[in-house]
Chains A and B, each alone.
Chain A
Amino acid sequence: MRDWTHGGLARGLLAATALIFLVAGLGLVAALFLGAWRFLGEPSALSNLFGDFWDPLRNRYGVLPFIVGSVVVTLGALVMAVPLALGVAVTLAEQRTAGMKDFAVRALTVLTAVPSVIFGWWGLQMVVPWVRARVGGPGFSLLAAGIVLALMVLPTFSLFFFQSLERVPQSLREGSAALGATPDQTLWRVAFRAAMPGLTNGLLVGVARALGETMAVQMVIGGQTALPSSLTSPGATLTTQIITDMTVFPPGTRGHAVLDIMALLLMLGMYVLVRLAERWGSVS
């Protein structure tokens, strides 16, 4: 009988916790809005914001260079990481013993937990000097950031791709083989196609991870605030610019308000990715 009364109390507590979670989450976004309002309320805020020039001393707050930086670095990482991850996933899915697959999943899980500063360290140690030696210039560049980020999201992609390929029933592969399909044909026409929701979901999760990554990118991108002229020129992303300028502009300043706007843009991007994953990536 005691548990019955406890049940009501427990339920109330759980509901309250869920409510706090909702409030805290929405509060986080609200705090950003509150901070951003100081700038958004100004006349011609938007034209200033979407200018391609960032020079707070001259009152120029164009965030376009950072948006371009984020998009280019993320795309660059995808172009490198997705084929590699598909290769990893396909090769692992071919393994026939369950022990081998189990080990692969565990290894990939551990690799997803490697801290971003480790990748940043490696980028400084090898990638930046390599870019410098190859194309000249400082070496700190969008390209270096893309390479580092590609390696960083590779385990995430691989894990998701592998798991979605594993969910394709063996009976479909056999059905395809029995119709005279070669292994390659089965892979492209049945396995990838049947796994498409899972692959899409993994892709979107990886994109979110790449877009939100801060430190690994910050360490190798160079932090230049002008619109980058090429892949090998230094740049900055939304996330790296936030961390660079946060201590420069304390809360309450116009600069900080723009950082809030950049954070809002990132959150909006994440929300869109979540909704897209829900629509295209639902694993039924």
Chain B
Amino acid sequence: MPPEIRVEGLSVWYDRHHALKQVSLEVAPGEVLALIGPSGCGKSTFLRTLNRLLEEGGRARISGRVFLGDADIYDAAADIPDLRRRVGMVFQAPNPFPFSIFDNVAYGPRLQGVTDRQALRRIVERSLQQAALWDEVRGKLRRSALTLSGGQQQRLCIARALAVEPEVLLMDEPTASLDPMSTTKIEELVAALRGRYTIVMVTHNLRQAARISDRTAFFAEGTLIEVGPTRQMFTAPLDPRTEQYLTGRYES
């Protein structure tokens, strides 16, 4: 059973800019939570606090607490690489390494010291199957990942994330740079993964959020405006700003 995520009073500053203001939120085990909101509202920043990737940039200051299961991931003793193994991430633009398809998927397991070829092969095959890419790349695993199409690359990145057997999957607008066909495939994939992973997904596409998420959170200007079941959110939002945004009249 995947863990739940509990965020308490999370704030982020970039230099002076207060990018995320006192966000508190819970994600239930195995659900798909969609994050929506206008550009620059802090939803991507929020996503990147969940695997502490925000700190790689170096400029951000973070306060508040984030629990993954029972453990506070911002605890001083927390092991960041181990956290990121448990929390996989898929990025806005596909970012396969310029290696072979096999090496891309095997990258995570190899980091953890798996060297046995048979074991690696099993992991790669299973991950590619989970990411619905296996049928398209079977027998071509030695080819460079850069020869794949954009949609295939993104599914490869999902396979790469799944290969380390995470419990949570973070997706940062995973279909933003893809064509409609590829987008549909990714959406079907997310639907298939629901329940096995706790999924948090940023999206600009409101209909996508409506299609695949269990609950939706609406951010604006660094604040969490409201969060609730997707169906209710899209039919009867509680906050007038949410309604304005959903009907395309929101101005920040």
A–B contact at 8 Å CB threshold (below):
yes
Residues of chain B within 8 A of A193, CB atoms compared = 97-99
Are A177 and B97 in contact, CB atoms less than 8 angstroms apart?
no
Bound Cα distance A196, B115 (Å): 23
Bound Cα distance A223, B130 (Å): 68
Are B97 and A179 in contact, CB atoms less than 8 angstroms apart?
no
Bound Cα distance A179, B51 (Å): 10
Shortest B169–chain A CB gap in Å is: 11
Bound Cα distance A179, B93 (Å): 16
**A84 interface hit (Cβ, 8 Å):** no
Residues of chain A within 8 A of B110, CB atoms compared = 189
Residues of chain A within 8 A of B81, CB atoms compared = 180-182
Which of A39-47, A63-71, A168-176, A199-207 is found at the contact surface with chain B?
A168-176
**A178 interface hit (Cβ, 8 Å):** yes
Bound Cα distance A175, B96 (Å): 8
**A96 interface hit (Cβ, 8 Å):** yes
Residues of chain B within 8 A of A226, CB atoms compared = none
Are A180 and B99 in contact, CB atoms less than 8 angstroms apart?
no
Residues of chain A within 8 A of B59, CB atoms compared = 96
Bound Cα distance A181, B111 (Å): 6
Considering only CB atoms, which chain B residue lies closest to A185 in the complex? B111
Q: A96-B58, A180-B108, A189-B107 given as contacts; is B97 within 8 A of A175 (CB)? A: yes
Considering only CB atoms, which chain A residue lies closest to B93 in the complex? A171
A 238-250 to B, binary, CB cutoff 8 A, 1 in contact else 0? 0000000000000
Q: Which of B123-170 contact A (CB under 8 A)?
A: 157, 160-161, 164
Q: A96-B59, A194-B98 given as contacts; is B88 within 8 A of A179 (CB)? A: yes
**A80 interface hit (Cβ, 8 Å):** no
**B191 interface hit (Cβ, 8 Å):** no
**B21 interface hit (Cβ, 8 Å):** no
Considering only CB atoms, which chain B residue lies closest to A182 in the complex? B81
Q: Which of B160-208 contact A (CB under 8 A)?
A: 160-161, 164
Interface size on B, residues (CB 8 A): 29
**B20 interface hit (Cβ, 8 Å):** no
Shortest B42–chain A CB gap in Å is: 18
Q: Which of A212-239 contact B (CB under 8 A)?
A: none
Q: A185-B111, A189-B107, A189-B111 given as contacts; is B84 within 8 A of A178 (CB)? A: yes
Considering only CB atoms, which chain A residue lies closest to B57 in the complex? A96
Are A194 and B97 in contact, CB atoms less than 8 angstroms apart?
yes
**B251 interface hit (Cβ, 8 Å):** no
Bound Cα distance A182, B85 (Å): 11
Residues of chain B within 8 A of A174, CB atoms compared = 53, 56, 91, 95
**B75 interface hit (Cβ, 8 Å):** no
Considering only CB atoms, which chain B residue lies closest to A169 in the complex? B95
Residues of chain B within 8 A of A96, CB atoms compared = 57-59
Residues of chain A within 8 A of B99, CB atoms compared = 193
**B112 interface hit (Cβ, 8 Å):** yes
B 80-104 to A, binary, CB cutoff 8 A, 1 in contact else 0? 0111110011010101111100000
Are A179 and B56 in contact, CB atoms less than 8 angstroms apart?
no
**A190 interface hit (Cβ, 8 Å):** yes
Shortest B144–chain A CB gap in Å is: 11
Bound Cα distance A272, B152 (Å): 39
Bound Cα distance A194, B96 (Å): 11
Taking a contact as CB atoms closer than 8 A, the residue among B82, B91, B95 that contacts A180 in the complex is: B82
Bound Cα distance A128, B81 (Å): 48
Are A179 and B95 in contact, CB atoms less than 8 angstroms apart?
no
Residues of chain B within 8 A of A178, CB atoms compared = 51, 53, 84, 88-89, 91, 161
Bound Cα distance A175, B95 (Å): 7
Considering only CB atoms, which chain B residue lies closest to A178 in the complex? B89
Residues of chain B within 8 A of A173, CB atoms compared = 56
Considering only CB atoms, which chain A residue lies closest to B51 in the complex? A178
Q: A96-B59, A171-B93 given as contacts; is B108 within 8 A of A177 (CB)? A: no
Considering only CB atoms, which chain A residue lies closest to B99 in the complex? A193
Shortest A283–chain B CB gap in Å is: 12
Are A179 and B160 in contact, CB atoms less than 8 angstroms apart?
yes
Considering only CB atoms, which chain B residue lies closest to A190 in the complex? B97
Bound Cα distance A196, B85 (Å): 27
Are A179 and B107 in contact, CB atoms less than 8 angstroms apart?
yes
A-B contact pairs, 29 of them (CB 8 A): A96-B58, A172-B97, A174-B53, A174-B56, A174-B95, A175-B89, A175-B91, A175-B97, A176-B97, A177-B53, A178-B53, A178-B84, A178-B88, A178-B89, A179-B84, A179-B161, A179-B164, A180-B81, A180-B83, A180-B84, A180-B112, A181-B84, A181-B111, A182-B81, A189-B107, A193-B98, A193-B99, A194-B97, A194-B98
Where the two chains meet, the residues of A that have a C-beta atom closer than 8 Å to any C-beta of B are 96, 169, 171-182, 185, 189-190, 193-194
**Top 8 A-B pairs, shortest CB-CB distance:** A180-B85, A178-B89, A171-B95, A180-B84, A179-B108, A175-B95, A96-B58, A180-B81
